[in-house]
Structure formats: structure tokens, C-alpha cells
Structure 1
């Protein structure tokens, strides 16, 4: 929210709790889901969310179609091209990866930054939240086809 100009927010307090057994919801086993639980209509949002979950790794068209249980590869490919035109994703070889909308400022009088702490995140949205508090950020994407890609953001807090 800070990146989008909501500067009047100075603190966000979040309370979490572990649910009681009576409140717990049992998640169905994916192998037992029937045809009635299939995604009826794949949207561009589904494709973008899938790429954000894979971030910083890329996914091929076949993998995206398989995960979304979509028989129409052309439909998925159209969504991918539209997301690429919007600057949200990029094609690297046969894989598609999620991009960040960041502006990297050139460093003036650069002194090599040596990190003193590391914050490791799993999800794309978590990384964006951490990046929002980093000043003078430099982001490096070490892309590796087939997985094990890494993103590093170095800066001041």
C-alpha cells in the first residue's frame, strides 16, 4: 500500500489465531475431486495467480494448462500474450515468469552493500510487502530454466 501512495498508514496490526477443532475446515484430497469440481472457465486472473505462486520460477504453457485443467492451450496462450503486453509477465525460452513493476534507481556514490539480515519469503505478495519497506532497493533475478530461480533485493530499511 505504501508503494501505491497510501502514506497516511503508519502501522498495520494483524492478529492471527489457531482455530479450535470445531472451527477447522477439512481440505478435500485433490485426488478425490470429481469432474464437478473442475474449473469451469479459466480466466487471465487464474493464469496470473499461478505464475505468482511459481515466482521466481517460470512455467511452460503445458504445465499451466495442466494445472488449470484447461483443454484449450490457445486460450491460455492468449492470456499469456495479453499479460505480457501489460508488462506483468515475460517469456524466457519456453517458460513464462512473473515480473515486478519496480523502478530501480541508479546508485550514487555506490558503496558495496553487505546485507546484515535476510528476509526470506515464499509468495510473490509477501516479497512485494517486504520490498515496500526497503529503501534504495536493487533487485536481481537469477533465473534458471526448470526451477530454482532466486530473487534478491538489497537495500536499506
Structure 2
């Protein structure tokens, strides 16, 4: 049976957990270096070798600032787009890349599929921002 995970999709870092025997357990990032491996930096980078998400994206940010996206959560629910190499990306698409990384790492850690998630949003998020967060989850392959 597939696990349902909880995700704190943060502005700077994100975190994920699952329940085991009534106790929440943290899902570590595959790289395992940010905050003892317990957090996923909410960073996406576009490089000549492809798209990097999380730790690898954060590590190269100083050398590649024009193609590194940080704090995209602040733009959720708006019509903002980030242009990278002639292509426009919505906040939902960038957030989906972060969520997909969390989903992939969770599946590897748990050894089973993850198709459903609860994603936190700040209390001050309006309906558009909440829907954009749900849309990002859907793009990432999660039922939210």
C-alpha cells in the first residue's frame, strides 16, 4: 500500500514526514547534508547538464545565479513567470520540481510508491495561493 506523506513546502527549505505506528518520522533528503539530512532546500537550478533540485541546486547557486530559482513560494498564486533560457516557468512548475524531488526521495527511502500528500500552506495564503500549491502537487504526480 502506498504511503501518504506530509510536506512542509517552505520558502527556503522544505521538509517531509510520514506516520509510522502513530509517530511522525522525518524523510531525509537523498543528499542528506542540509540540517542533518532532514530538509530539502527549496531551490531549483538550470544547468547545461539538466535541472538540479535541492542540495545540488543550492551548492551551485553562487556560480549560476541567473539560472537558479529560490523563494518561488512567495510568488505562488500570481501570474509571475521566471524565464530561463527562453522558456517561462510558473511558480507551480518550479514548486512541482521541488515536490517531485521530495516524492522521489521519499519513495527511495520508504521503498514504496508515494502518490498522496498533505502539503502545508501558511495561514495567510489566499484561495489562489492554496490552489496553486495543490496544482504544483498535481504536476509533481501527487494527489493533494
TM-score by length of 1: 0.23
Which structure shows the higher strand fraction?
A: 2
Q: Which has the larger radius of gyration?
A: 1
Q: Structure 2 length normalisation: TM-score? A: 0.24
